[in-house]
């Protein structure tokens, strides 16, 4: 029965992973991966923009980008969707295993893991942080295993952190959890501190060494990012995508308040720390979901034992119920596949400026002012046209992001900024205030337009070397 329910969780998570997404950042990840494969090393400067071509760029996700680019180039774009599904399925298989070991109750484990997978579903994009979800689950499983058995399996975290630090900067959360384990489990403190030291050293084995270690802290403390970039906002509970997180949060409060078992210091620290991260920045909701599921399963099982004098599902019916749950998850997966069996979900012509990019490829080199969310797509689809900005906000000086916002919001002096940056073309969404203003501006003309994007070209240039990137 335990295996049947584990299969149901994997199928359910896989179906959720097939939800179509508009993958805005994938394109610059692919372009970066192509550059790394070509040059044999990660870039250290912003290569794709004219506004900050020499600005330092810490490509902390370089190994993920190489993997994405290789899969895309050697196997095909659909393989990226398969890779995404496999990583998410593996993540929640690990979470289910941890939840079962903590609770020894397959139904509690499957309920909490399924709820966690549902709560995190709005982040199931093809992005490097997917690997952080998996590695975080493995890290927590290793900590729990050492607490229960005290073996040397904890040392397996050392190579894991080496890989993790080269795939995504979320490894810093794993280091914090190791420190928390050392502080809250005195009996095992020596083992956890030793592993923490080795894991930290392993995390320094990246092309950026100590700068890669400090990078996630620096980015999370940058007020400009947290105030302007959607994924760094606090959760908006009016959004239907965050309904699952709200339910998970409320269930955690209710179950822990009612559980006859007291939470351990490590559980309490993990819950509070992850809740803080998730409530501060919605991009961290999956970290909360992955970390809380095993804890919630243990207390849910304890609560069920106290409330129910006999099993909710009689033992003779349990295998049938598990089979029904697995069959239901399989049906859910089958219903999800037809809408996501192609890579079109991230190349939709009604979302991305596909035709506008084709038009721009036929133009001489121009300096583009572009929509922030389209920057990554333009970087890969028309590499000969350097962009103003893209999703790599950390690869730009803060002033560039401020100037981008000033132009977008038509703040005083926005026209002068376009001149100062020698912008020769604007690629933006039609019907927006900026597009409407340029439509009325005699300095600009509409060179291409469709339902998705409009391309404006400057009629005359007020500088000598116009159009030179």
The per-residue pLDDT string of the chain (469 residues; one tens digit each, 9 = 90 and over) reads 667 777 788 888 888 888 776 788 999 999 999 999 999 999 999 999 999 999 999 999 999 999 999 999 999 888 998 999 999 999 999 999 999 999 998 888 998 999 999 999 989 989 999 999 999 999 999 999 999 988 788 999 999 999 999 999 999 999 999 999 999 999 999 999 999 999 999 999 999 998 888 898 888 888 898 888 888 999 999 998 899 999 999 999 999 998 899 999 999 999 999 999 999 999 999 999 999 999 999 999 998 887 665 555 555 544 555 455 555 545 554 554 545 444 555 556 678 999 999 999 999 999 999 999 999 999 999 999 999 999 999 999 999 999 999 999 999 999 999 999 999 999 999 999 999 999 999 999 999 999 999 999 999 876 554 444 4
Count: domains in the chain: 2
User: Where does a domain end: 339, 371, 403?
Assistant: 339
Residue 139 CA to residue 9 CA, distance in Å, equals: 20
Asked if residue 359 is part of any domain, the answer here is: yes
Q: 323 and 195 in one domain?
A: yes
User: Where does a domain end: 294, 311, 339?
Assistant: 339
Q: What is the DSSP letter of 332?
A: H
Q: Name the residue range of residue 152's domain.
A: 2-339
pLDDT at residue 309, rounded to an integer: 53
Q: 223 and 313 in one domain?
A: yes
Asked if residue 310 is part of any domain, the answer here is: yes
Asked if residue 418 is part of any domain, the answer here is: yes
Q: 250 and 126 in one domain?
A: yes
Q: 418 and 277 in one domain?
A: no
Q: 248 and 157 in one domain?
A: yes
Asked if residue 344 is part of any domain, the answer here is: no
Q: What is the DSSP letter of 442?
A: T
Q: 325 and 176 in one domain?
A: yes
Q: 252 and 295 in one domain?
A: yes
Q: 215 and 98 in one domain?
A: yes
Asked if residue 349 is part of any domain, the answer here is: no
Q: 374 and 309 in one domain?
A: no
Do 191 and 158 touch, CB atoms closer than 8 A? no
Residue 216 CA to residue 218 CA, distance in Å, equals: 5
Asked if residue 329 is part of any domain, the answer here is: yes
Asked if residue 463 is part of any domain, the answer here is: no
Q: 242 and 204 in one domain?
A: yes
Residue 399 CA to residue 422 CA, distance in Å, equals: 16
Q: 105 and 74 in one domain?
A: yes
Do 133 and 147 touch, CB atoms closer than 8 A? no
User: Where does a domain end: 304, 339, 374?
Assistant: 339
Asked if residue 70 is part of any domain, the answer here is: yes
Q: 276 and 186 in one domain?
A: yes
Do 56 and 47 touch, CB atoms closer than 8 A? no
Do 178 and 195 touch, CB atoms closer than 8 A? yes
pTM: 0.91
Residue 252 CA to residue 293 CA, distance in Å, equals: 9
- How many residues are given for the chain? 469
């Amino acid at each position: 029965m335990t295996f049947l329910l584990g299969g149901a969780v994997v199928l359910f998570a896989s179906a959720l992973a097939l939800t179509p997404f508009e993958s805005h950042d994938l394109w610059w990840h692919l372009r970066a991966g192509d550059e790394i494969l070509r040059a044999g090393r990660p870039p250290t400067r912003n290569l794709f923009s004219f506004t900050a071509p020499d600005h330092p760029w810490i490509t902390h996700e370089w190994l993920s980008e190489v993997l994405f680019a290789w899969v895309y180039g050697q196997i095909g774009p659909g393989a990226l969707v398969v890779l995404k599904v496999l990583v998410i399925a593996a993540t929640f298989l690990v979470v289910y295993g941890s939840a079962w070991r903590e609770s020894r109750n397959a139904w509690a484990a499957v309920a909490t893991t399924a709820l966690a997978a549902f709560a995190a579903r709005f982040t199931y994009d093809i992005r490097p942080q997917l690997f952080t979800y998996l590695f975080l689950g493995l890290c927590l499983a290793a900590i729990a295993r050492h607490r229960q058995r005290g073996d040397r399996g904890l040392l397996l975290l050392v190579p894991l952190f080496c890989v993790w630090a080269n795939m995504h900067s979320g490894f810093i959360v794993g280091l914090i959890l190791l420190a928390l384990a050392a502080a809250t489990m005195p009996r095992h403190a020596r083992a956890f501190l030793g592993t923490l030291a080795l894991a930290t050293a392993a995390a320094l084995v990246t092309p950026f060494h100590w700068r890669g270690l400090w990078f996630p802290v620096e980015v999370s403390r940058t007020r400009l990012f947290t105030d302007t970039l959607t994924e760094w906002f606090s959760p908006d509970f009016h959004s239907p995508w965050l309904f699952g997180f709200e339910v998970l949060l409320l269930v955690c409060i209710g179950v822990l308040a009612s559980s006859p078992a007291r939470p351990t210091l490590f559980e309490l620290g993990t819950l509070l720390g992850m809740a803080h991260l998730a409530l501060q920045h919605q991009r961290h909701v999956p970290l909360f979901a992955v970390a809380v599921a095993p804890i919630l399963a243990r207390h849910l099982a304890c609560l069920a034992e106290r409330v129910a004098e006999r099993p909710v599902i009689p033992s003779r019916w349990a295998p049938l119920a598990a089979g029904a749950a697995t069959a239901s998850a399989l049906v859910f997966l089958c219903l999800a596949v037809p809408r996501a069996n192609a890579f079109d979900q991230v190349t939709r012509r009604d979302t991305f400026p596909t035709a506008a990019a084709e038009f721009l490829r036929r133009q001489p080199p121009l300096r583009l002012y572009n929509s922030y969310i389209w920057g990554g797509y333009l970087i890969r689809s028309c590499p000969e046209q350097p962009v103003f900005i893209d999703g790599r906000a950390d690869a730009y000086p803060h002033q560039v992001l401020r100037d981008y916002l000033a132009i977008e919001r038509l703040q005083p002096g926005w026209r002068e900024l376009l001149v100062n940056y020698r912008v020769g073309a604007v690629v933006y969404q039609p019907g927006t205030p900026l597009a409407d203003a340029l439509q009325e501006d005699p300095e600009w003309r509409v060179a291409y337009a469709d339902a998705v994007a409009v391309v404006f070209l400057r009629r005359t240039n007020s500088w000598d070397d116009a159009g030179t990137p």
